[in-house]
Amino acid sequence: MLFCRVLGPLEIVADGARVDPGGPQPRRLTEALIAARGEAVSEDRLTEAIWGDTPPANPSASLQAYVSRLRKAFGAGALTRGPGGYTLIADSDADEFRSGVERGLAAAWPGDALRHLDAALRLWRGRPYPDLDAFAEAERGRLTELRATAVEERAAALLALGDAPAAVTDLRPAVRDEPYRERRWELLILALYRSARQAEALSALREVRALLADDLGVDPGAELQSLERRLLAQDPSLLLAAKPARTGRPLSRFVGRATELGLLSAAMAETRLVTLVGPGGTGKTRLALEWAGDAYLARLADVRSPVDLPSVIAAALGLADTPSRITGAGGLLLLDNCEHLTDAVADLAVTLLADNPDLRVLATSREALGVDGERLLPIDPLPRADAVTLLTDRIAAVRPGWQPTGDDLTQLDRLASALDGIPLALELAAARARVLSLGELSGRHLSALGRVPRGALTPHATLEATVAWSVDLLPDRDRALFLRLWPFEGGFTLEGAAALGSDLAALSSLVSRSVVAADTTLTPARYRLLEIIRAYCRDHDPDPAGSRAAHAAWARELVARTVPDLRGRRSARAIRVLNRELPNLRAALTHDLAEDPAAALRTAGLLEWFWVRGGHAAEGLRLLTTAMDRAPGAPPVVRARALSACAGLHWIGGDLAEVRRCVTGAFDALGAPDGEDGRRLLGQLHYYRAMLWTADADFDRAADSARASIEVSRTVGEPRYGVLPQALLGGALAGRGEIAEGRRRLRAAIEEAERDGYGWDGGLAAQLLIRSLVVDDPEAAFPVLHRAITWFREEDDRVQVLSCLAHGALVLLRTGRPAAAVTLLTGADRLAARGGIRLDNADPTAMAMLRTEIAALDPDLRASAAAASEPLTEDDLIALLTGLQ
């Protein structure tokens, strides 16, 4: 258990004991990782945090040294590295502080609010993240603002509990600390008035007026001006909070939404108009009622004409008649379901707020009202855990005595995911649990989930009607485009949407109306439809086959455009793009297997390197085999490429017999190609044949095949297939005794890869050079080894990084470090096993040599060295190798 205190001087506790990270740099590293709140932080960002504008000559090595030191101090598993950078798994007082303030802001009763806010404020010991300067400025600012809000809301809770003198005691220094926060003055003046100190209250009012005028040149805000009027009139309601008419609450239990309740409290404290926006069924109305408690409620779902709005709102406010202008209203007005009347509601809200300074408005809608000063609070579906809790609670209500079993919890989790965490869908599914099992519920269509029970807050009778209400409000063009977006799996980009006829204007409209969700934290921004909305679109798309075909065509074009980047400077980006779109690629391949198997075969073959690099060898083989069976008449180049891809995937699996069969079949299918694609593929096949001869230690044939690959590659201007065959030729020459020439060619291949940006290819050439150097010059292998590791890490190829560590063990053996060699190999084996990687397949010749020599070592030495590897991560193993150079 690791706990870090960053609200003041850094303190670290690991398993109950204080830990000294040692020095300013490890402290900055720790604080930067804590500030990320469990997210990965890249090396570049950590370098900025630790050294600012003056990093050392080799910041990466220094950073790894500090990481290694912190891992030993923090314990196994706390500090890890993944594709995005380093992650620290730890609790912190900053997280406790945020949670405590959120609970305080969300509390229904002042006593609970006071308790939570007191506990949170006690955690504050000084300047947050004290060792970080500009790097943590944004996070420090957010925490400081949250503390300021907590101070004010604590005083408000004291006032609500009737302890005005205590509120005065707290607010005096608070006002001195931040004199321009009008909320503090408002609370102080009210606290003084309720403490029977009216003269001091008026004096404070004059003081803040003068302060704002002299320092800022502005008048007090609307809230202070309203308080001034009421103070001068000695309004008796100042002594007790006014109680508006009750809205009434549902009988069922309210689940989750602690964060949203806290954000809503903070927003309503700063502005007089807040709109909860989100898709239908996400629980906007329930959340508003839960927060508001007693409020004036105007239900607008059944209001069909803007002409009727004033009378509905007047009735909600308790007015017998509808005046031409409503004045004198105060408290909180809840305007529910505004999406079909947004313009009219917006105009009326502006007038109401201008004519009634003591009135606040909370609206629910599927799109913003668009009023100046409006604060938006998006309401998303429930997180998985809360969705399961809601399902459990509602099912227990219709199944007396039911307690979920382990299998039930698995089914509940699956059902919550299938229903996107949408509260309305969960409620309807739970109601069906009286007559259906949980497994049956998971497969039900949204139209089969039944009708909404009496007393529910939604104005629609079924979930399908809720979705239809949102879709029917769309303009005709937007609706037509929206209904075509359902084929996308796992989301889509603007480019993907354009392939199905959409554009930025339409997509922006759909996002603003909450029928499409946007994640703008990614670049490019990513969009998605909730599964329930997807199902509706699929059922109502006038041309579903055309939409599926357009989606598949987009996926084919994406693959054709992205695959050439998989082996070059842009390879890491290409892998990320294809990984991100993998659900869409699978959907497109499924479509093409049924409708155009030859197209599926071409796409699956082009993705060979992605199947290898992404760890999807089994999936790639299955798709390729299925497509070849269904497309026997595919063009020769397409069929040969597919067989070549199968050969590469079988090589990863260690089945050399299948590799030979596939390579031979690819040569036969390709014949004597005359096109550039065919010749490029021929060069790759010669390269694969060279790999096979190398594995058989038939270095003469390996060299001949490598030369053939080089020659073909030159005719099509394919530098990457120049690097790889050059490397294999160098390895073959070294293998048959031409050591100097073999190493020269290997070094030339490495230089070529460095120049042209083919990092993976350079890494392979480096491994072949290492295998040659360990024979007679193992010390010279160290720099080559480190370059290979750097290349493969840049390429995000964990298999080859672990293979390099195994090669490093061989180098350590040959340089007289047997214990370190065993530790390194055992650690690499353990990490490979965890990832389902067969390490011996990466380089069978080198691995066989290494394991034979390890087995000959003293058993006691092997046992103790192997035990030393147990807590070591990949970064630790690399640091170990670096330190022994």
The per-residue pLDDT for range 492-505, each reduced to its tens digit, is 999 999 998 888 88
User: Model confidence over 637-665: pLDDT tens digits?
Assistant: 999 999 999 998 888 777 888 999 999 99
- Both tokens of 799, joined, read 């298999």
Residue type, 410: T
Whether pLDDT at 314 is above 90: no
The answer to whether 637 and 606 are in contact (CB under 8 A) is no
128: left (phi over 0), alpha (psi -120 to 50) or beta: beta
177 Cβ contact partners less than 8 Å away, ≥ 6 residues apart: none
The answer to whether 402 and 408 are in contact (CB under 8 A) is no
The answer to whether 185 and 175 are in contact (CB under 8 A) is yes
CA–CA gap between residue 260 and residue 618 (Å, rounded): 43
The answer to whether 481 and 506 are in contact (CB under 8 A) is yes
User: Model confidence over 97-156: pLDDT tens digits?
Assistant: 999 998 888 875 666 788 889 899 999 999 999 988 888 888 888 999 999 999 999 998
Q: What is the pLDDT of residue 588?
A: 93
| CA dist 419 → 142, 168, 383 (Å) | 34, 50, 11
CA–CA gap between residue 513 and residue 277 (Å, rounded): 9
Q: What is the pLDDT of residue 766?
A: 92
What end-to-end distance do the CA atoms of the chain give, in Å?
34
User: Model confidence over 668-718: pLDDT tens digits?
Assistant: 999 888 888 888 889 889 989 998 898 888 999 999 999 999 888 888 776
Alpha-helix runs per DSSP H in 513-616: 531-540, 544-562, 571-580, 582-595, 597-606, 608-613
Under DSSP, is residue 108 helix (H, G, I), strand (E, B) or coil?
coil
- Both tokens of 640, joined, read 């040969």
Mean pLDDT, the chain, whole residue set: 84
CA–CA gap between residue 316 and residue 56 (Å, rounded): 67
User: Model confidence over 223-239: pLDDT tens digits?
Assistant: 888 888 888 877 766 76
CA–CA gap between residue 13 and residue 207 (Å, rounded): 47
- Both tokens of 750, joined, read 């490495």
Q: What is the pLDDT of residue 664?
A: 94
Q: What is the pLDDT of residue 598?
A: 95
206 Cβ contact partners less than 8 Å away, ≥ 6 residues apart: none
CA–CA gap between residue 138 and residue 36 (Å, rounded): 11
CA–CA gap between residue 841 and residue 827 (Å, rounded): 17
- Both tokens of 149, joined, read 């809000």
Query: What is the share, in percent, of the chain residues with pLDDT greater than 90?
Result: 24
Q: By C-alpha distance, which of 724, 684, 725 is closest to 704?
A: 725
Q: What is the pLDDT of residue 411?
A: 82
Q: How confident is the model at residue 722 (pLDDT cuts 50, 70, 90)?
A: low
* Strand pairing report for 2-5 and 91-92: parallel
Per the omega criterion (within 30 degrees of 0), is the bond before 524 cis? Answer: yes
Return the bridge partners of 796, or none: none
Can you state the angle between helices 597-606 and 617-630, rounded to 10 degrees?
Answer: 150
User: Model confidence over 757-792: pLDDT tens digits?
Assistant: 888 888 889 988 998 898 889 899 999 999 999 888
The answer to whether 87 and 33 are in contact (CB under 8 A) is yes
The answer to whether 398 and 430 are in contact (CB under 8 A) is yes
- Both tokens of 87, joined, read 């992650």
What's phi and psi for 219, nearest 5 deg? -90, 160
CA–CA gap between residue 559 and residue 393 (Å, rounded): 46
At residue 294's C-alpha, the angle toward residues 288 and 300, to 5°, is 50
Q: How confident is the model at residue 243 (pLDDT cuts 50, 70, 90)?
A: very low
Q: What is the pLDDT of residue 469?
A: 59
User: Model confidence over 581-612: pLDDT tens digits?
Assistant: 988 998 999 999 999 999 999 999 999 988 88
CA–CA gap between residue 879 and residue 64 (Å, rounded): 7
Instruction: Tell the burial category of 135 from Cβ atoms under 10 Å away from its Cβ (0-12, 13-18, 19+).
Output: buried
Which residues in 266-345 belong to E strands, given as ranges?
Answer: 273-277, 296-299, 331-336
* Strand pairing report for 11-14 and 2-5: antiparallel
What's phi and psi for 328, nearest 5 deg? 80, 5
Q: Among the listed ranges 466-470, 578-582, 687-691, which one has the minimum average pLDDT value?
A: 466-470
Q: Among the listed ranges 187-191, 250-254, 732-736, 812-816, which one has the minimum average pLDDT value?
A: 250-254
